[in-house]
Amino acid sequence: MRIDVITIFPEYLAPLELSLIGKARKDGLIDVHLHNLRDYTHDRHRTVDDTPVGGGAGMVMKPEPWAEAFANVLASGKGESDDGSASPLVIFPNPAGEPFTQRAAEQRAEEPWLIFACGRYEGIDERVYEYLADQGVRVALSSLGDYVLNGGEVAVLAMTEAIVRLVPGVVGNPESIVEESHTSGLLEYPLYTKPARWTSPDGVQRDVPEVLLSGHHARIQKWRRERSLERTAERRPDLLEGRE
C-alpha cells in the first residue's frame, strides 16, 4: 500500500515513522510520502489561504496550490505504483464527511493507494473536490467523529493507524485484530492479566474472574460474549440496533 499525505504541517505526521506503522514502512509493507502544500505556491509568503467569498469568519484554502499538489502526487504515484495503473482513493478528513468507522477502515485497507488531503483554516475551496471528481479521481470525505478539530492531520494519524493495522503482515498475530471492539460489532470484553489476585494501593484484594482461570474455553468464550453484550448495551446501545 502506498500512502501520500498533503499537508501544510508535515511535521504533524512524524508519528507515522514510529511503532507499528514505522515497522511496516521498514518491512516494505507500506510506502508513505509526505508533501508540503506550501511547496506548490509561487508567492514570497507561500500563501495557501484567502478570505471566504460571501463573507464569514476565518480563511479558506485556495484551490490553486491543491490542484498543483494533486497533479504532482498523482503523477509521481502512477510512476511508482507496482503496475502503474493503480488509481488512488483521495480521502479528505472533514467534519462534514461520512463517519470513519471500522468498516470504513476495512474498506480502505483494501486500497493499493491512498492520498490523504489535510485541510486547515475553515476548510478547502469546494471547487477542489469538484475538480478532482471531474478528473475521474475517487474522492471521499471522512469524519473522525462529532467534534471539531483544527485541521485534518490528527484525523489522518488516526485513520492511517486504523487502516494500516489491517494490512496483512503488519500485525504479528492476525488473531488479535479479530476479536477487538467494533470488529465483531460489539465492544470488547474486560481484559485481565497476572497476578490472579492484585492488592491495590487502597488495600483491596481484587481477583481475576474465576471462569478465566478455569481453562474451560467454551465457558470463557461464553463469559466474554456476555460481558461484550452487557457493556455494548450499557455504553453503545446504537450498535445493537438491527442485530438478530
Site of interaction with ligand JE8 (CB under 6 A): 93-95, 119-120, 122-123, 143-145, 147-152, 155
H/E run at residue 116? strand 113-117
CA distance 13 to 157: 7
Q: Per residue in 125-142, is it b (16+ CB within 10 Å) or e — as a string?
A: beebbebbeeeebebbbb
Q: Output 67 or 158, the one with its CB closest to ligand JE8.
A: 158
Query: Is 119 annotated in some ligand binding site?
Result: yes
Query: Is 147 annotated in some ligand binding site?
Result: yes
Could you tell me the smallest distance in angstroms from the CB atom of residue 26 to ligand JE8?
A: 28
Q: Give the torsion sign (CA, 55, 61, 65, 70).
A: negative
Could you tell me the smallest distance in angstroms from the CB atom of residue 148 to ligand JE8?
A: 5
Q: Output 61 or 164, the one with its CB closest to ligand JE8.
A: 61
Here the cell at position 149 is 478539530
Q: Output 133 or 149, the one with its CB closest to ligand JE8.
A: 149
- The gap from C-alpha 125 to its chain's centroid, in whole angstroms, comes to 23
Could you tell me the smallest distance in angstroms from the CB atom of residue 95 to ligand JE8?
A: 4
- Annotated binding residues for S-adenosyl-L-methionine, written as ranges, equal 119, 144-149
- Annotated binding residues, written as ranges, equal 119, 144-149
